[in-house]
Amino acid sequence: STLFPYTTLFRSLDGAQIRIIYNGVDTSRFVPPTAIQRQQARERLGFAADDLVVGMVAGFRPEKNHDVFFAALGAVAAAVPQLKVLLVGGGPLLEHYRAQLATVELGARTRFAGDVTDVLPYLWAMDIGCLTPGSNEGFSNAVIEQMAAGLPLVVSDIGGNAEAVEEGSSGFVVAPGEPALTAAG
């Protein structure tokens, strides 16, 4: 094929010749924050030292399942009065979710950062990272950046999330589309 000149070559490779190369993260830059960096990141966003900040870095698109994330946090909010929510990302559903959360109690605890050029200070403000896609996820840079910044994760078992997050050690892997399981994680 003129569009895919390497098709014949790829078909001739055996499994021993194929290597998986995962996404990478700059671990000299993405590091856990010092106490001062953490304090400054939280203060800049209006979070108190004793707040429990749960965050998600993801575009506001249908496959990211922000509705599952919000349902899970809504289920635990009454039991965790210090719960705060930090969302980083833009996208076609951002204004939809801003409007939806403005009508519920969880909205008063939520900060929408929008698209940012440097995600690291936002990660430093978080206590727990989440990614709850229901479909269409590869090996997520957001997940490995959060892990490199020292965050435990709650992720849905989609794409490479379960390969990155070691169940019970670096976080929890839950069934996709299950707010109750996400909340329990």
Banded pLDDT at 129 (limits 50, 70, 90): very high
Spatial contact of 43 and 62, defined as CB atoms under 8 Å apart: no
* pLDDT surpassing 90 at residue 40: yes
User: What does the mean pLDDT of the chain come to?
Assistant: 88
Mean local confidence (pLDDT), 41-45: 97
% of residues, the chain, pLDDT over 70: 84
Least Cα distance to 156 among 32, 88, 89, 142 occurs for 142
Mean local confidence (pLDDT), 123-139: 91
* pLDDT surpassing 50 at residue 149: yes
- Tell me if the pTM is above 0.75: yes
Residue 152 has a pLDDT of: 96
* pLDDT surpassing 70 at residue 104: yes
Mean local confidence (pLDDT), 125-138: 91
Of 9-18, 84-93, 141-150, least confident by mean pLDDT is 9-18
8 CB contacts (<8 Å, ≥6 apart)?
none
DSSP conformational letter for 48: -
Question: What token pair was written down for 87?
Answer: 């969302």
Spatial contact of 123 and 129, defined as CB atoms under 8 Å apart: yes
* pLDDT surpassing 90 at residue 98: yes
Per-residue pLDDT tens digits for 2-16: 445 545 555 566 666
Per-residue pLDDT tens digits for 58-73: 999 999 999 999 999 9
Residue 25 has a pLDDT of: 87
Q: Where are the alpha helices (DSSP H) in 46-185?
A: 66-77, 94-102, 120-124, 141-148, 161-164, 179-184
Mean local confidence (pLDDT), 165-173: 89
